[in-house]
Amino acid sequence: MPSVAQSHPPSGPSAPLDNPISSTNASSPTPFHVAIIGGGITGINLALGLEHRGVLYTIYERSPGFREIGAGIGFSPNAEEAMKLLNPEVYHAYKRTANPNGEDKFQWINGLNDELLYSLPVGKDGFLGCRRSEILEEWGKLVPPEKIKFNKTVETVLEPGDEGYNPDEDAKGKILLKFTDGTVDTADIVIGCDGIRSKLRNHVQSHLYPSSSSGPGRAVAKAGYTHKFCYRALVPMSRAVEAVGQYRCSTRFMYNGPGAHIITYPIGNNSVLNMLAVISDPNEWPDEKRHVLPGNKEDIRQAFKGWHPTAEKLAELFPEQNEGGDGPIVKWGIFDTYDFPLPQYYAGRVAVAGDAAHATGPHLGAGGGLGIEDALVLAELLGKVPELQGSNLQAREVDTEMILERVLYVYNDFRYARTQKVVAWTRDAVDLFQWKDERVAKDGKKFGKLVKKKFHHVWFDLDLQEMMNWNMPKGMLEMAVLEVALAPTVKGAREFLGIGSGSDGSDEDAEW
């Protein structure tokens, strides 16, 4: 099993001279407050991770309640592992809502001839599907009501030093959250879990590049159209079975072919077949501000026309009307951050997580799972802060604000490479599923080798258990804080030796 290879401890002194983080002369920890912006999968999971570790937090969610569409979602083995470590209650809630697999396999069918291309074992009860609205409701019940503020849309976040930063006397040094209803709250650290069109992503970007965030030569981080759109449907199981038979409705299948694919799996205790049709699109998305637009069932009919009757019947199962029955079925543009990524996931004491940080297409079923992994890493790091506060660091002028900033530095260090890779692998995967290279796509052996590699990267490339056993986050955090704690000593020594005080990665640094 690979180790935590995607990350590395931040550079810093390897051994302290007089152990500045020992707990001798320890002062008691100062409570700090985490603001979580957005109560989707990432935000709720972060909240439940902090709850489990006794860290103070509030979720600010713009909707009147925890809201998700009824469509299905599948959680991959890495996401399950993260749930267990985050908070066992998170995992149990997921298991309560998840649909059993007919067979513990993910199977790919050549959509043109209906033959099996490849079958990937998913592990015992692995990659189960569930209804989004149900799982979110179950998780939502675990968050104490006083820790959620609904109908709160964050408009701006202001950190000390920002223009317009004007806290009350007792809130000096805190981060200000300004809401669209005119109210203001404060926090010591802010995690933006506000989804694919994140406001907090803009905040991070503008604080990384204050003068040039939208200037020439610097692309503004955002989610761009992937030239794929999709249609979703929840089909009563009896209708689905009538169309394609019991077996094909009992577990996870994907039907592949040129320029399109359909994925199906059962949810709602086998009462419903969840369906997702993904279609390639040479055009631009007409409205970047709206990722969901009125569609037309004809798109689906055309995309699967001439395929094997099984695929054509599946296409026909999609409804003509939207859920409310008062308009056409809607189509969802698939956007990701591949072309316009953030260069890092934090600035100061504000970070982004989940889709806000690294939106990815749905093709590896990974986006939600990545958000849960982010939540685990953040919760683990924030859970270690009281230990560092209780050490003698404060005597060295390393205050809570600095520790919190270093938490985000380590979070970014842990998460950036892996999450960016998953965004890229997801693009590769959809090319494979939609036969960009027909010779590979139609050859079960070649196809299977590539598919297995991609999914296994997502499922196993991050050994979360090992990370926890090694006490990795605490170790990395201590290293990062040490860098700050020792900075004055290093500076003094440099001055004494007359070798300058910069730490710009020059030869001078190497010599030191």
Ligand X SMILES: Cc1cc2nc3c(=O)[nH]c(=O)nc-3n(C[C@H](O)[C@H](O)[C@H](O)COP(=O)(O)OP(=O)(O)OC[C@H]3O[C@@H](n4cnc5c(N)ncnc54)[C@H](O)[C@@H]3O)c2cc1C
Contact 463, 3 (CB under 8 A): yes
Q: Which residue's Cβ has the minimum distance to ligand X?
A: 40
CA pair distance 37, 192, nearest whole angstrom: 5
Q: What φ, ψ does residue 394 adopt, rounded to 5°? A: -65, -30
Closest to ligand X by CB, 6 or 153: 153
Q: 43 or 111, CB closer to ligand X?
A: 43
CA distance 241 to 444: 26
Q: Does 42 participate in binding ligand X (rule CB under 6 A)?
A: yes
Number of CB atoms found within 10 A of residue 211's CB: 8
Among 35, 234, 237, 276, binds ligand X (CB under 6 A): 276
CB of 390 to ligand X, least distance (A): 32
Report how many residues bind ligand X under the rule CB under 6 A. Answer: 35
Catalytic residue among 232, 396, 415, 418: 232
- Based on the shown chain and the rule CB under 6 A, indicate whether residue 195 belongs to the binding site for ligand X: yes
Cα four-point dihedral sign 391, 415, 276, 38: positive
Residue 341 contacts ligand X per CB under 6 A: no
In the list 51, 80, 185, 355, the residue contacting ligand X (rule: CB under 6 A) is: 355
CA angle 287, 196, 371 (to 5 degrees): 160
62 is a contact residue toward ligand X (CB under 6 A): yes
Measured distance CA(192)–CA(360) in Å, rounded: 17
- The answer to whether 430 and 437 have CB atoms below 8 angstroms apart is no
By beta-carbon proximity to ligand X, the closer residue of 152 and 406 is: 152
Q: With binding defined as CB under 6 A, does residue 77 bind ligand X? A: no
- Please report whether residue 266 would count as binding ligand X according to CB under 6 A: no
Residues 308-337, one symbol each (x = binds ligand X by CB under 6 A, - = not), give ------------------------x-----
Is there binding between residue 74 and ligand X (CB under 6 A)?
yes
Q: Which of 140, 348, 367, 383 binds ligand X (CB under 6 A)?
A: 367
Is 232 designated active site? yes
Determine, following the binding rule CB under 6 A, whether residue 231 of this chain makes contact with ligand X: no
Least distance CB 72 / ligand X (angstroms): 7
Q: How far is the CB of 491 from ligand X (least distance, A)?
A: 40
Q: For residue 385, report the phi and psi dihedrals to the nearest 5 degrees.
A: -60, -45
Core vs surface per residue 287-309: b (16+ CB within 10 A) or e:
eeeebeeebebebbeebbeebbe
State the nearest-atom distance from the C-beta of 177 to ligand X, in Å. Answer: 9
Piece of the chain touching ligand X by CB under 6 A; list 191-199, 212-220, 431-439, 478-486: 191-199
Question: Quick one: 38 or 386, whose CB is closer to ligand X?
Answer: 38
Under the binding rule (CB under 6 A), the answer on residue 40 touching ligand X is: yes
**Torsion angles phi and psi, residue 40, rounded to 5:** -90, -160
By the rule CB under 6 A, 60 interacts with ligand X: yes
**Identity of the residue, 348 or 368, whose beta carbon is nearer to ligand X in the bound complex:** 368
For the bound state, the minimum distance from the C-beta of residue 97 to ligand X, rounded and expressed in Å, comes to: 14
Classify residue 46 as left (phi > 0), alpha (psi -120 to 50) or beta: alpha
Size of the chain in residues: 512
Q: Is 61 exposed, middle or buried, given 0-12, 13-18 or 19+ CB atoms closer than 10 A?
A: buried
CB of 6 to ligand X, least distance (A): 18
Minimum CB separation from ligand X for residue 219, in Å? 22
Smallest gap from Cβ 353 to ligand X, in A, equals: 7
Q: Which of 35, 93, 118, 199 binds ligand X (CB under 6 A)?
A: 199
If binding is defined by CB under 6 A, does position 358 make contact with ligand X? no
User: Can you say whether the dihedral through the CA atoms of 197, 184, 397, 32 is positive or negative?
Assistant: negative
- Residue number, 148 or 230, with CB nearest to ligand X: 230
Based on the shown chain and the rule CB under 6 A, indicate whether residue 111 belongs to the binding site for ligand X: no
Q: Which stretch binds ligand X (CB under 6 A): 9-17, 59-67, 435-443, 486-494?
A: 59-67
Report the 10 Å Cβ neighbour count for 439: 9
Is residue 134 at the binding interface for ligand X, with CB under 6 A as the rule? no
**For residues 91 and 484, which CB has a smaller minimum distance to ligand X in the complex?**
91
Q: How far is the CB of 196 from ligand X (least distance, A)?
A: 6
DSSP 211: T
Per CB under 6 A, 63 contacts ligand X: yes
Q: What angle do CA 505, 506, 511 make, to 5 degrees?
A: 100
Q: Tell how strand 115-121 and strand 154-158 pair up.
A: unpaired
What are the phi and psi torsion angles at 156 (to 5°)? -145, 150
Q: How far apart are CA 194 and CA 354, in angstroms?
A: 8
- The residue (of 199 and 308) whose beta carbon lies closer to ligand X is 199
- DSSP secondary structure string, 310-376? HHHHHHHHS-SB-TTSSSBPEEEEEEESSSS--SSSEETTEEE-THHHH---STTS-HHHHHHHHHH
**Rg for the chain (alpha carbons), in Å?**
24
Residues with a known catalytic role: 232
Q: Which residues bind ligand X (CB under 6 A)?
A: 37-43, 60-63, 73-75, 79, 152-154, 193-196, 199, 230, 276, 332, 354-355, 362, 365-369, 371
